[in-house]
C-alpha cells in the first residue's frame, strides 16, 4: 500500500475511539497518535534514502516486521491495565502500535514481507494468499487503496469535525472579534412575517 496508510490510520482511530473514549478524554491527541502510527513504519525510508543508499528494500528493516509491531501491540494494553492513573498516554500508545501493526499488514497485501522475522528470514508474497478472482483485476491493489481513502473521507464528512471546519460557529466568531455576531435583519419564519404585516399601517386609499 502506498497512499492508503494515513486514511487507514484515520479509520481505525475513529472506530476505536468509541471503545476507548473513557481512557482518552482528548480525542485529537488519540487521533493524532493513531495517524502517526499508521505511517511510522515508513520512517525507515529516511535511513533507506541516506545511510542505506537504496541497497536493501526498506520492507526488510525491522520497522516493517509484523512481529515487531505485534509485540508492541500486545504490551500496550498491559500498560493500559497496569497504569493506575488511567493516563491518556496509555491509550495513545495502544492506538499508535495498533496502527503501526496494521501498516505492516496492509503492505503485505501487495508486496513481499517478512512475516516471521526476526525468527525466520523468509519472504512471503502477500497477493499469493489472496483470492485469484481479486488479483486478476487490473490495478486491484490501487482499487483497494481507493476504497480505503473513500471510506476515510466518508467518516470525516459525517464527523462533527468536518461540520466545524466547514461552518464557523457563532461562539468562535465572538471569541475572535470580541463581539456578539449581529442577528440577521430579516426573518424567514412565516409567523414573524404575519406579525409584521399586522404592525404595518393600512394602505391610504
> Smallest distance, Å, CB 118 to Zn ion?
17
Nearer to Zn ion, 30 or 101 (CB): 101
Could you tell me the smallest distance in angstroms from the CB atom of residue 104 to Zn ion?
7
Query: Residue 29 or residue 42: which is nearer to Zn ion going by CB?
Result: 42
Least distance CB 89 / Zn ion (angstroms): 25
Mention every residue, 6+ apart, whose C-beta is less than 8 A from residue 27.
17, 21
Considering the complex, state which of residue 45 and residue 130 has its C-beta at the smaller distance from Zn ion.
45
Q: Which is nearer to Zn ion, 42 or 83 (CB)?
A: 42
Residue numbers of the site for Zn ion (CB under 5 A)?
A: 41-42, 107
Amino acid at each position: 500500500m502506498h497512499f492508503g496508510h494515513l486514511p487507514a490510520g484515520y479509520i481505525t482511530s475513529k472506530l476505536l475511539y468509541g471503545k476507548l473514549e473513557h481512557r482518552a478524554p482528548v480525542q485529537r491527541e488519540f487521533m493524532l497518535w493513531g495517524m502517526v502510527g499508521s505511517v511510522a513504519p515508513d520512517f525507515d525510508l529516511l535511513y533507506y534514502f541516506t545511510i542505506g543508499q537504496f541497497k536493501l528494500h526498506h520492507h526488510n528493516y525491522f520497522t516493517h516486521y509484523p512481529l515487531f509491531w505485534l509485540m508492541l501491540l500486545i504490551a500496550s494494553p498491559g500498560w493500559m491495565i497496569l497504569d493506575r492513573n488511567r493516563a491518556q498516554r496509555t491509550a495513545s500508545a495502544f492506538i499508535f502500535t495498533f496502527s503501526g501493526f496494521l501498516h505492516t499488514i496492509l503492505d503485505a497485501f501487495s508486496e513481499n514481507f517478512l512475516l516471521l522475522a526476526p525468527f525466520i528470514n523468509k519472504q512471503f508474497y502477500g497477493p499469493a494468499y489472496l483470492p485469484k478472482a481479486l488479483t486478476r483485476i487490473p490495478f486491484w491493489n490501487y482499487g483497494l487503496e481507493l476504497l480505503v481513502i473513500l471510506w476515510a473521507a466518508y467518516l470525516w464528512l459525517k464527523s462533527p469535525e468536518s461540520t466545524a471546519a466547514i461552518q464557523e460557529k457563532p461562539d468562535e466568531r465572538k471569541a475572535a472579534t470580541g463581539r456578539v455576531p449581529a442577528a440577521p435583519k430579516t426573518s424567514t419564519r412565516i409567523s414573524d412575517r404575519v406579525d409584521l404585516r399586522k404592525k404595518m399601517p393600512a394602505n391610504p386609499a
